[in-house]
């Protein structure tokens, strides 16, 4: 089995807005998906990628926060401490960064790619990336953290960026 780069879903794709379902069985198909998600994350220079971003509405995400790739399945945040506001971007929402409050520290329960239960404490950037990927599993995007008055302007920027990206793709395929 060879991991393949998956098509990244972008703002406007309904997959990004659905609530993902828990994974009931972790087998070869799920591990293959995880390998392909990791490849997709690296190819797109991301630090995290959630399954809805590749069109799969299952509660899986992958992250690499400087310690190699980690797969997280059926995660639950069981503890949050503190609050930090920082700018955040998203591969599926290009062209903007949004200031978002995230816990400074979280404790996460999850299953790894072998179906083993794991618990970990994560702080700072790690906590932020995980909270961001958890949002994806709930169908939530960074633009939803923008106050309603400023949101249309931010969405306009995203749509303009997507248009440029689509045009570039058409140019490159000619």
Task: Spell out, one character per residue from 34 to 73, where the chain touches Ni ion: x when CB under 5 A holds, - when not.
Answer: ----------------------------------------
* DSSP-based three-state secondary structure for 56: coil
CB of 173 to Ni ion, least distance (A): 26
Q: How many CB atoms lie within 10 A of CB 152?
A: 11
> Closer to Ni ion at the Cβ: 30 or 135?
135
Tell which positions 90-149 bind Ni ion, by CB under 5 A.
90
CB of 29 to Ni ion, least distance (A): 23
Asked if residues 47 and 132 have their Cβ atoms less than 8 Å apart, the reply is no
Compute the distance between CA of residue 122 and CA of residue 133 in angstroms, rounded to an integer: 14
Count of positions on this chain that bind Ni ion (CB under 5 A): 1
What is the chain's percent helix, strand, coil content, to nearest 5? 35, 25, 35
The stretch near Ni ion (CB under 5 A) out of 20-28, 33-41, 86-94, 113-121 is 86-94
> Closer to Ni ion at the Cβ: 90 or 111?
90
Angle at CA of residue 97, ends 92 and 102, nearest 5°: 95
Rg of the chain taking only CA atoms, in angstroms: 16
> Closer to Ni ion at the Cβ: 90 or 127?
90
- Checking 24-27 for CB contacts under 8 A at 24+ apart, the result is 26/73, 26/111, 26/113, 26/114, 26/115
Active site residue 133: yes
The stretch near Ni ion (CB under 5 A) out of 8-16, 89-97, 149-157, 158-166 is 89-97
> Closer to Ni ion at the Cβ: 19 or 116?
19
Q: Which residues bind Ni ion (CB under 5 A)?
A: 90
Active site residues: 133
């Amino acid at each position: 089995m060879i991991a393949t780069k998956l098509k990244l879903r972008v703002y406007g794709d309904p997959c990004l807005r659905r609530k993902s379902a828990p994974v009931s069985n972790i087998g070869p198909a799920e591990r293959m998906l995880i390998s392909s998600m990791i490849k997709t994350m690296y190819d797109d220079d991301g630090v995290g990628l959630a399954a809805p971003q590749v069109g799969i509405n299952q509660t899986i995400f992958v992250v690499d926060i400087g310690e190699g790739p980690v797969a997280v399945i059926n995660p639950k945040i069981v503890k949050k401490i503190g609050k930090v506001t920082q700018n955040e971007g998203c591969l599926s929402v290009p062209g903007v960064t949004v200031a978002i409050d995230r816990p400074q520290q979280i404790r996460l329960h999850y299953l790894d790619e072998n179906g083993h239960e794991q618990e970990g404490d994560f702080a700072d950037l790690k906590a932020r990336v995980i909270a961001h990927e958890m949002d994806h599993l709930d169908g939530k995007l960074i633009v939803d953290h923008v106050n309603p008055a400023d949101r249309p302007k931010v969405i306009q920027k995203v749509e303009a960026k997507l248009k440029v990206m689509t045009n570039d793709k058409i140019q490159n395929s000619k």
